[in-house]
Structure 1
């Protein structure tokens, strides 16, 4: 089977249009169309249904597109390994993690990584959905649970707990919260129970809601929860790592917290020798050591 025709087919199937695929491939629409017809003749099948709004894959086309997607991911992985220099760290690294951890902990620390490796390009993908690393949806992930796939290298980084926080100004204005029952006098800010989140956070929120909270402000990520707390809307449920960068936060009800949430770094076995992965892994580990030291200093102070 002609590799060039498969490459053109994949671009057309991905774009849903001969014109858009041609723009991507720097080919004319007629050239793309000829290649698709030639591939269909070689396979003796129809790959696309043509209509006024574009192209739709036939059942046979879907089968071939699944195969070319898999091939493309493998080629990207091979290309990434080839591009890794023996001495230098450069090129694109696709990192995925949750919205909360990515915005509140990881992104503010990335300047330290770029200072050391200015030619590195980080593509940070923040979403609660777990991306498929072996299928190359991302190169490396930081996840709030241990990955279950066997073909991943994983390293436990640290543990996180969800705790209650408010600002100093809020406490001064609304009074101290000395017992869990006092929550019934305050607005609770938290992730909505319908949002994707760690089970430990959901359990803590359910427990707090049992105290007849009079007012609730829910957001679908911890960045939004933090903004609500910082702006004095009430008492918020937040991961404990936020206190390092937001010293104005005061912990409320220190005896009340979620269960432990493990944080893992994971990447595909095939990227074991990647210089970019090694640089990112070492950077994260160094930042966590620094984070732990600062947290200890805050606790002692």
Structure 2
């Protein structure tokens, strides 16, 4: 096998993870023709075809699949080398991507970013607040916040905070509909729930815990849009207290009868866990969560 460039292997990983030439090129910071040449150079060096082009994008061949694990091990090794060389530094620089659920990222973390920027002005922080899970092994994030402990993969995971949820409705909705004085009254009202096949974690399946007979009339894929619909008087829904308290139009329904609890977990990858910039951001998250106290999170 002829020699190949590490940049070619990085290009291979970017293509394998995105499946799109233009997206992979953007991630690598090169134009698509440069990335295409790097993939071709790697294929020539390996003397195998690594990708097949299909309607859905570029798909790994069996040879490409075989290379993927080795390429990720090499990538992990280079990261660990960087950790050892630069682990301790008083002046933090570089990028840290934090992947979170949309509610946590929007209502808690985004307002804290100014303070994080003041503490570490030369860090470039990327907040990805989406209703999805993040793969740390694929470098989709350096730090992930999840609603469940990962059941597989090499990660560090620790509890971050427990948070409470309850039933909410707008006061205008409650004024226009029959009163709710007991749990059985809930079945006569309109409900907002998740799109079932787009529920990114089973932890979002709240409604059966309220009453298994509830059938939502409106299904929305993310909690921020659900909250907006509830504020707009579309019906009842389950919301985290730390989000609902920001909207004075909302009223909590049956607070003594219905109280749900979920947890957020803080997750990092072993290869980057000890990077000074990742550790600083993880510590910052933990400190800010604790500083707000139980009333903020549990309602």
Q: Identify the TM-score tier after normalising by the shorter chain.
A: 0.7 to 0.9
Matched position secondary structure for 2:192: strand
Contact kept, 8 Å, 1:146 with 1:262, in 2: the verdict is: no
Alignment match of 1:113 (pick from 113, 116, 134): 116
Q: Deviations over 1:105-137 (max 9, x none)?
A: 322332332232222222223445433335544
Paired with 2:278 and 2:139, the residues of 1 have a C-alpha distance of 14
Paired with 1:63 and 1:150, the residues of 2 have a C-alpha distance of 18
Alpha-carbon RMSD across the aligned residues, in angstroms, is 4.1
Paired with 2:54 and 2:290, the residues of 1 have a C-alpha distance of 58
| Structure-2 change in CA distance of 1:78 and 1:107 (3 Å) | farther
| Residue matched to 1:289 | 290
| Residue matched to 1:86 | 89
| Structure-2 change in CA distance of 1:6 and 1:30 (3 Å) | same
Q: Deviations over 1:50-89 (max 9, x none)?
A: 9899987653344234432442354345446645551023
Contact kept, 8 Å, 1:73 with 1:135, in 2: the verdict is: no
Matches within 5 A, 1:151-300: 151-174=154-177, 176-196=179-199, 198-199=201-202, 201-205=204-208, 207-208=210-211, 210=213, 216-257=217-258, 259-292=260-293, 295=296
Alignment match of 1:59 (pick from 43, 59, 62): 62
Paired with 1:270 and 1:28, the residues of 2 have a C-alpha distance of 28
Q: Deviations over 1:19-73 (max 9, x none)?
A: x979828987997588457514xxxx33257989998765334423443244235
Paired with 2:69 and 2:237, the residues of 1 have a C-alpha distance of 44
Alignment TM-score, normalising by the size of structure 2 = 0.76
| Structure-2 change in CA distance of 1:72 and 1:2 (3 Å) | farther
Alignment match of 1:101 (pick from 93, 101, 104): 104
| Structure-2 change in CA distance of 1:256 and 1:205 (3 Å) | farther
Paired with 2:171 and 2:291, the residues of 1 have a C-alpha distance of 25
CA shift, 1:238, in A, is 1.1
| Structure-2 change in CA distance of 1:63 and 1:226 (3 Å) | same
Tell whether 2:133 aligns with 1:130. Answer: yes
Q: Deviations over 1:152-190 (max 9, x none)?
A: 333312112331012334334446421122223422122
CA shift, 1:92, in A, is 0.8
| Structure-2 change in CA distance of 1:67 and 1:168 (3 Å) | same
Paired with 1:199 and 1:266, the residues of 2 have a C-alpha distance of 18
Q: How many residues align?
A: 291
- Unpaired stretches in structure 1, ≥5 consecutive residues: none
